[in-house]
Amino acid sequence: MQSRRAHSTTSMFKFLLILALGIAMGYFYGFNDAQTNEKHIAERFVDRIGGDSKENMRSDADAIGRSVTGK
C-alpha cells in the first residue's frame, strides 16, 4: 500500500510539474508574440485560412437575396 501511494504522489507531482512548465512556456510565448505582432494570433490564423478567395466569400443573406431579386 505504501509503494502504491508513493507512486501516485510521484505521478501527480510529475503531472503538475509538466503542466506548470507548459503554462509558463505558453505565457512567455504569447507575451513575446504580442510584443512583435499587432494582430492577435487567432486573427492571423483566420487570415491565413481564408487564402486568396476570402474576399469573394459573402455571408450576408439579405444582400445576396437583394442581388437575386433586384430589390
Q: What is the pLDDT of residue 36?
A: 93
Q: What is the pLDDT of residue 41?
A: 83
Higher local confidence (pLDDT), 1 or 40 = 40
Q: Which amino acid is at 22?
A: G
The full set of domain ranges for the chain reads 2-69
Buried/exposed 19-32: b ≥16 CB within 10 Å, e otherwise: eeeeeeeeeeeeee
Q: What does the CA dihedral 53, 59, 63, 67 come to, rounded to 10 degrees?
A: 50
pLDDT in tens, 5-21: 767 888 999 999 999 99
Q: Which of 34, 57, 60, 32 is nearest to 47 (CA)?
A: 57
Q: What is the pLDDT of residue 29?
A: 92
Q: Which of 22, 19, 21, 42 is nearest to 34 (CA)?
A: 42
